[in-house]
Amino acid sequence: MTAEEIIKLKENALKECQAAGTMNELEAVRVRYIGRNGYLPQVMKGLKDVDPSERSEYGRIANEFKNQVSAALDYKKTELAERGTAEAKSVFDYSLPGVWRSLGTKHPISSIIEETVRIFGKLGFTVAEGPDVETAYHNFEALNTPAHHPSLDQTDTFWFETGELLRTQTSPVQIRVMESRKPPIRIITPGRCYRRDTTDATHSANFHQIEGLYVEKNVSLADLKGTLAYFAKEMMGTGVDIRFRPHFFPFTEPSVECDFTCHVCGGKGCRVCKNSGWIEIAGAGMVDPRVFKKVGYDPEEITGYAFGMGIERIAMIKYSINDIRLLYENDARFLSQFI
């Protein structure tokens, strides 16, 4: 829906508000334009499809539509109530529809998590959860992290006096699941993570990750690429491709970084992708045999892949958000754009 169409809808709504002669007629106008299945939700959902350069203006016009129509409805309702007859004032009409309070909007982080769970659910992945307060064994040692690794330092991780810590990733959930059951395993693990990062436009000490694990006989790197390619097209659009770059993670071997083609420029190069045409989304790889040995699996019999990605990063790319702090400030003006 274009900005011109929204303006036309607003004008029609204001005219119909003014023309309404009864409460029932006025309620019909409300339902048609700003009700749950009315025009307003369609307008707000269209925000994600608008070109980033036009999104601010589109949002302004959409908010004007919402605010002006709501104000006109309230004014007309008061006018009709004051103009009612004495009989209407003294007798309650039980046939009148109730006045519903508007519902809050869904937070973009919650929306991305739900969409990610839905996409991987179609591939047979189920959701697994674990504690935020973890042991050093599950968070580091079982994931093949050496004792001298900098992530174990107190400047990187929130440690308790008990020796426990706030998990730095959701990978410990994978360890707990493998300890408790035998293959095949196909899970995703959304949840909060904590690291001693200085808060700025792209970092936060409290953030969200969603990781995946698939363990069975004859799982290959090709399976991993197919899974992430499917996710990329479902989340970002059918025109998105992926590429793998060699990397290193303690718990996977081989390890890769996964990039998606920039959905803004289509891979041609722009400000969002720093003119590279690619955006880094996930870290992934084949599960290291030493991790399998830690949980009692035979690496000669089974293989598996794992991947992990930041929810905030996906939200910032998908919705063209330039500062991660906007996701945590609970500013109604910002959150009202996501319906």
pLDDT tens-digit readout, 229-259: 999 999 988 888 889 999 999 999 999 999 9
Residue 230 to residue 137: CA distance in whole angstroms: 33
User: What SS3 state is found at 126?
Assistant: strand
> Who contacts 82 (Cβ-Cβ below 8 Å, separation ≥6)?
none
Residues 176 and 213 sit within 8 Å (Cβ to Cβ) = no
The helix, strand and coil proportions of the chain, stated in percent and rounded to the nearest 5, come to 45, 20, 35
At 86 the pLDDT is: 47
Per-residue pLDDT of the chain (339 residues; tens, 9 = 90+): 787 888 888 888 888 888 888 888 888 888 888 888 888 888 888 878 888 888 888 888 888 888 888 888 888 888 888 776 544 455 667 787 877 766 677 889 999 999 999 999 999 999 999 999 999 999 999 999 988 888 889 889 999 999 999 999 999 999 999 999 999 999 999 999 999 988 888 888 899 999 999 999 999 999 999 999 999 999 988 888 889 999 999 999 999 999 988 877 777 887 767 888 888 889 999 999 999 999 999 999 999 999 999 999 899 888 888 888 989 888 888 888 876
* Total Cβ atoms within 10 A of residue 321: 16
Residue 203 per-residue DSSP state: -
DSSP string, 112-123: HHHHHHHHHHTT
At 59 the pLDDT is: 82
At 319 the pLDDT is: 85
Residue 285 to residue 146: CA distance in whole angstroms: 18
pLDDT tens-digit readout, 58-110: 888 888 888 888 888 888 888 888 776 544 455 667 787 877 766 677 889 99
Helix axes 52-83, 3-19, angle to 10 degrees: 0
CATH number of 108-335: 3.30.930.10
Alpha-helix runs per DSSP H in the chain: 3-19, 23-34, 39-45, 52-83, 86-90, 108-121, 136-139, 171-180, 221-236, 289-294, 311-318, 332-335
List the domain boundaries for the chain: 3-90, 108-335
Residues 28 and 97 sit within 8 Å (Cβ to Cβ) = no
What the block records as the tokens of 192 is 């909060």
Residues 315 and 266 sit within 8 Å (Cβ to Cβ) = no
